[in-house]
Amino acid sequence: MANITLDILSNVNSNRNNANVFSDLQLDLELNYTFNNQLNKKQQILDLNADTNLGAIYNSISNIILTSPGQKPLNPLFGIGFGDLLFLPVTTQRAISIGNAILQGIQTFEPRVVVLNVNVEPLEEEQQYIITLSISVPRFNTQQVQIVGVLDKSGFYINN
């Protein structure tokens, strides 16, 4: 009988000098190049870029906000259900509802952060909401990190 050894996780913590604690795929899909042969200096296309540490947390928060419950087959409860709130006129009352949903979603699905404050400012003329999240990441001993983004019917975009 053949033996198969899967040791891809055996050296996870062996490199203590690596400053990257968290890693995630970069959401902005763009081509990245590297040189694959130093003698010929040919460019090689890299398929995926990775975000690390705070960038990975930003990706996670963005995924929580953009995903509706039921969209993730293996975790059907994941995400925030804005329903038709984003397609209705922008009001202060809807901004409060969106802020509460974001707070609940991050507290439920992102255990790496502590939410200090969620501020949702309605911009009625532009039909969008400016979202300012104040979070701390206990793993990095950070006091406070602010994530500022725009939420409208086309999506959520982080401005940091």
Query: In sequence order, what E strands does the chain have?
Result: 23-25, 32-37, 42-46, 50-52, 114-123, 128-136, 145-152, 155-158
* pLDDT at residue 55 in the model: 83
* pLDDT at residue 69 in the model: 93
3-state SS class at 131: strand
Query: In sequence order, what E strands does 12-65 have?
Result: 23-25, 32-37, 42-46, 50-52
What domains can be seen in the chain, in order of their start residue?
Answer: 51-158 (3.10.450.40)
* pLDDT at residue 12 in the model: 47
- Per-residue pLDDT of the chain (160 residues), as tens digits, is 667 665 554 544 444 445 777 766 665 555 555 555 555 555 555 556 677 778 888 888 998 998 999 998 999 999 998 878 888 999 999 999 999 999 999 999 999 999 999 999 999 999 999 999 999 999 888 778 999 999 998 888 888 7
* pLDDT at residue 1 in the model: 64
* pLDDT at residue 37 in the model: 55
